[in-house]
Structure 1
């Protein structure tokens, strides 16, 4: 199965699952309050459906436009913009006839389910898989820096990242995750620490640059593959060989190779390497660009075994998993809210990095991993819940905003007002979708 197909299957499975569960969150309380649900759809069925079947009073179906899903609740202005029912007197089974508190529960049902799904996934993945992460204290000789934004701030390869906004992290994944919303970082070089204030538009600069890397781990030069077009195709190197020196220059990290090779063009050079615990030397050729035609390889497990860093493995009991999974859930929500805050603050430039369906597609790896799939699905579930809570008419948050106004003021907005608000919200939502996916297209074409 091709890598792209594997990504596509994970993408469709994850989004379909989340959409169905979200709409189920609206469907179940609606039925509990004896509100008629006319349609329950995965994807949108504009003009026609791929599949539909009526069971009882509800038509269940799959649309052809994979931009989401919906439940059509009688007496409610929703994505379908069907206002025909509103011209008639309210019926007892309609949404508009129900008390405000029941309507509020129905509207909050979708995001509530999405939050619960994420929480349950984090708890179960903690219990089933545990945690495996790289300890930042074990990382030797700092990080590999290639991003020009970081370089302009004075960060260099070999610098240690000590803290983010004054907080130290033992988990390398946590460290990278919190860099996204950081305002200042503390780095160390030659034993001396210094704080660096990140520019307000740090995220914007990162989003528009060609290099999106941050603080990357430094790996050894382990042979992954010798190119078929390489001058050294038949020299005797094998995958897994660990390069120790090139032309007498010691090599501990792959990032040390390029500066050395710039001085070794069109040459025959001695390369010392290790294989099966034994040190050997080969005479290799370089081309006019100072290249040997050798692609690096290796795995995180192998690099950990070689002592480049320590991998911490933790297993949890079910009780411990509840606490650990709950903390992951809280941290993920907090981090995503901070990202949204920056996105909606124009001066940060973070909006330039907003992505659409391609950006979500790219999150999934090109190989199948159930652990990775569930962790990404948990994150997307939180993202779907938070976005749906935005106070935009046409989103759940817009309906909640008007319902809270009604409950506080005692005055219900008119059906005509809700119809106009829904139209405005719908066009605003379309604009946001076009902007996000337009960013994807721009990056694909010009980066």
Structure 2
């Protein structure tokens, strides 16, 4: 059931994005009297699930959920319709229109994606409010780091002041700032220091813990549950106990508790716990994994979330700023992917991989927020000057407007073929990687 909800979410999100993106091409095409032969949600190699012809346009739904398309008469696109291009140009064809009209048609999808994100953020900010994790609140006790973070030079308790000279008030963006930046200014035991994160260290972070390599340093409120047949249960630990010391060492934060237990693997230890206002001393054994078998209860991290209630007039510029910021982050992440030593390219996900990371409960606030973020990502991706993408078509059209020279049909065919080979190869790699990971996780 959980998987079905995840699949339903990704299909809904992709459907909204693809339909509106393609309408961004369709509407200016109709405005400039270009014949639209097909309008498809999802791809339809060999066959389609649904199709109906209305006027000159065949409307349909393909079976392969990796995008969609509009097929314009007289345009060399992913359909690779060479026969049509060999015929004399007709007034209703894309190739017969002035370059400026063709450019508007090409950039229509990208424009709609940006406007969609702006609209969603405006609506969310004026209804749910603008929500973000406060860096100040998240690191009030300092931060805790996973193994990859500790290997990169961080220590539990550090506070991050700035990355490449810029402070980040939103903790949910802190991880990506660290991965995109180089020099990190921290506060450690009241002293300021600067760390440099190498591409190799970033690769370790991405390959192991990802965004979880850095978390708020949480105080342990109490023991939430005792695992069955565990050493904790044998020792007499109870739900609601709070661990005060391990072998006389005071425990304030969960990372201290975890480190103390790991240092005592396969040893016996003495625990001092607070139970109903009284201190109780217990003896227990630590297993070879450095655990005794209980689940802790932490302070509520929801208290670290800031919600800014906004009026519609306040939400509009805030949404524009968020859309712009998301676009800038897409540029930075693309640069990170192009740095081979970070191996960030290994983390690129297909819709299959994205589906695995979606929540297992239907949440409209999350879905619309993710749709807005994904919409900006789709706009950025389509703006890349790769043949086969909107940006590739736009580059050649702009060159034509500047030079006055048109790319020949044969050259356009070769460029489009090259672009499609690149795109299909990238899709095969990302889909193949995600499918392999699912198989390895569940069957190998």
Q: Same fold (TM over 0.5)?
A: yes
Matching residue of 1:372: 366
Residue 319 (structure 1) aligns with = 313
Residue 352 of structure 1 aligns to a residue in which SS?
helix
Q: Distance in 1 between matches of 2:260 and 2:341?
A: 41
Distance 1:337 1:421, change over 3 A: same
SS at match of 1:420: helix
Kept in 2, the 8 Å contact 1:133–1:311? The answer is yes
| Deviating more after overlay: 343-352 vs 72-81 | 343-352
1:427 shift after superposition: 0.2
Deviations 1:248-290 (A, max 9, x none): 5433222122333343857585552467xx5674857545435
State the partner residue of 1:48: 47
Aligned to 1:237: 238
CA displacement, residues 198-252 of structure 1 (integer Å, 9 cap, x when unaligned)? 22455434333466633211223343433234355595733x6654445654332
1:272 aligned residue? 273
CA gap of 1:299–1:102, structure 2 versus 1, over 3 A, is farther
SS in 2 for 1:66: strand
Matched ranges for 1:33-44 at <5 A: 33-44=32-43
8 Å contact from structure 1 (residues 353, 439) kept in 2: no
Segments of 5+ residues of structure 1 without an aligned counterpart are 305-309
Query: Secondary structure of 2:162's partner?
Result: strand
Q: Secondary structure at the match of 1:162?
A: strand
In 2: Cα distance, 1:323 partner to 1:170 partner = 19
Q: Distance in 1 between matches of 2:204 and 2:258?
A: 26
SS of 1:219's equivalent in the other structure is coil
Residues paired across the two proteins, number: 436
2:322 equivalent to 1:328: yes
Contact 1:39–1:71 under 8 Å retained in 2: yes
Partner of 1:408: 402
Alignment CA distance shift 1:186-1:268 (3 Å): closer
* Structure 2 unpaired stretches of 5+: none
The TM-score, its normalising length taken from structure 2, stands at: 0.89
How many Å apart are 1:8 and its aligned residue? 1.8
Q: In terms of mean alpha carbon deviation, does 254-263 or 77-86 score higher?
A: 254-263
1:123 & 1:281 partners in 2: Cα distance? 54
- Separation of aligned partners in 1, 2:106 and 2:298: 50
Name the counterpart of 1:32: 31
SS of match in other structure, 2:65: strand
- Give how far 1:114 is off: 0.6
Maintained 8 Å contact 2:218/2:299: no
Listed as ranges, the matches of 1:25-424 within 5 Å are 25-138=24-137, 139-148=139-148, 150-209=149-208, 213-221=212-220, 222-232=222-232, 237-238=238-239, 242-246=242-246, 248-261=248-261, 262-263=263-264, 265=266, 267=268, 269-273=270-274, 278=277, 281=280, 283=282, 285-286=284-285, 288-289=287-288, 291-298=291-298, 300-301=300-301, 304=303, 310-346=304-340, 348-424=342-418
Q: Is the 8 A contact 1:246 1:272 kept in 2?
A: no
Output one character per residue of 1:380-422: Cα deviation in whole Å (capped at 9) or x when no partner.
Answer: 1111111111111111111111111111111111122111111
Between 1:317-326 and 1:431-440, the stretch displaced more is 431-440
Quickly say closer, same or farther: Cα 1:130–1:58, change in 2 above 3 A. Answer: same
Q: TM-score, normalised by structure 1?
A: 0.88
- SS of 1:45's partner is strand
**CA deviation profile, 1:64-114 (whole Å, cap 9, x unmatched):** 111111111111111111222122211211111111111111111111111
Cα distance in 2 between the residues matched to 1:287 and 1:252: 19
SS of residue in 1 equivalent to 2:380: helix
Measure how far apart 1:347 and its partner are.
5.3
| Deviates most, 154-163 or 193-202 | 193-202
Instruction: State how far apart, in whole Å, the 2-side matches of 1:190 and 1:251 are.
Output: 18
Counterpart of 1:19 in structure 2 is: 18
